[in-house]
Amino acid sequence: MKRKFLVVLLAVLATFCMAFGFAACGEKSDETGNNPSITDPSGTQGNQGSQGGTQKPDDSEQGGEQKPDDSEQGDTPAPHVHSFGEWKVETPATHLKEGVERQYCECGEYQEQSIPKLTEHTYGDWQEVESATHLTEGVERQYCECGEYQEQSIPKLTEHTYGDWQEVEPATHLTEGVERQYCECGEYNEKSIPKVEGHSFGEWKVTKESTCKEAGTKERSCACGEKETEALPLMGHDFEDMICKGCGIQASLGLEYTLINGDKEYKISGIGNCTDTDLIITNNYQGKPVTGIGSSAFYGCNGLTSVTIPDSVTSIGESAFV
């Protein structure tokens, strides 16, 4: 009895499986449009194109979703969204005005907001106003931009405050010198200056003035008594009414003079009717200084052998003698 029941059960299961398989094949045939039971003589199944090739199913006919055309769609960049960093102080706040702070995006844009005024003075660094010494305290202050300041004392120093070294006695080749540095209280440090090698001469002193005829002299002395003497250069002629007051020589007559610089000075502008071959130019003419020689003043004067020019002449024009 059991055996017969098992045979019947297996037959039912087999029938059920066959029915399920046929149903699945039918659904597949409906989706693809091909009849699995019909075999093409060429060995292919399903619908055949006019050229014998297998046609690719049209997505529009299958009702499936069409693939978008990349060439038509393109890549659209995402819009920029600002990303601001931390707040940074641009202008600090004081008790007189508000400050400013900003936060920046990497693109350069920024957001800005004010910083409230401070409720108290904003003092700067301490600045020394009076230096401390060992006698008196010093003073230092810190200022607010409004002009107010705080002040505090700097303690006295515990030692003397000496200044720079000052020479008291110069050194010579015979004796050492002395230099000192003083404190404001009157105390000082002292040290010697080594002897110098050779004579140590003082300043030059004129012993004889120069004239236009004779050179003068000057001399300087060493502490040991040694002296040096040098000659001074000759002085230029000093004319009055065209005659030198020192040597009596006469300036060249007949030269042409022209007033310059607001009629305050003269310049030599030409040879005029002067016939001298050794020209002597005066340092003043009609009570006014002669300060220049004009351009081409002596141009073409080939007979000149010498020209004495006074120290008062400070400008000589082009081609004055050539």
Contacts of 82 (CB under 8 A, 6+ apart): 105, 107, 109
Could you tell me the two tokens for 138?
Answer: 């010093």
Q: What's the pLDDT at 256?
A: 96
Counting Cα atoms < 13 Å in the Cβ hemisphere of 186 gives 0
Nearest to 134 by CA among 206, 174, 186: 186
In DSSP terms, 240 is beta-bridged to 243
**Which secondary structure element, helix H or strand E, spans residue 113, and what is its range?**
strand 110-115
What is the amino acid identity at position 66? Q
Alpha-carbon torsion (119, 121, 122, 126), positive or negative: negative
C-alpha span between 306 and 311 (Å, rounded)? 16
C-alpha span between 216 and 232 (Å, rounded)? 5
Kindly give the confidence (pLDDT) of every residue in the chain, 322 residues in length, as a single tens digit, with 9 standing for 90 and above. 555 666 566 776 767 666 656 555 554 444 444 444 434 444 444 444 334 444 444 544 444 455 555 555 567 888 999 999 999 999 999 888 999 999 999 999 999 999 999 888 988 999 999 999 888 999 999 999 888 999 999 999 989 989 999 999 988 888 899 999 999 888 999 999 999 888 888 899 999 998 888 899 999 998 888 999 999 998 889 999 999 988 899 999 999 999 999 999 999 999 999 999 999 999 999 999 999 999 999 998 989 999 999 999 999 999 998 7
**Model-wide pTM > 0.75:** no
Q: How many CB atoms lie within 10 A of CB 227?
A: 12
Alpha-carbon torsion (248, 253, 257, 263), positive or negative: positive
Place of tokens 């082009």: 318
Q: What's the pLDDT at 54?
A: 43
Q: What are phi and psi of 3, to 5 degrees?
A: -60, -40
3 state DSSP class of 117: coil
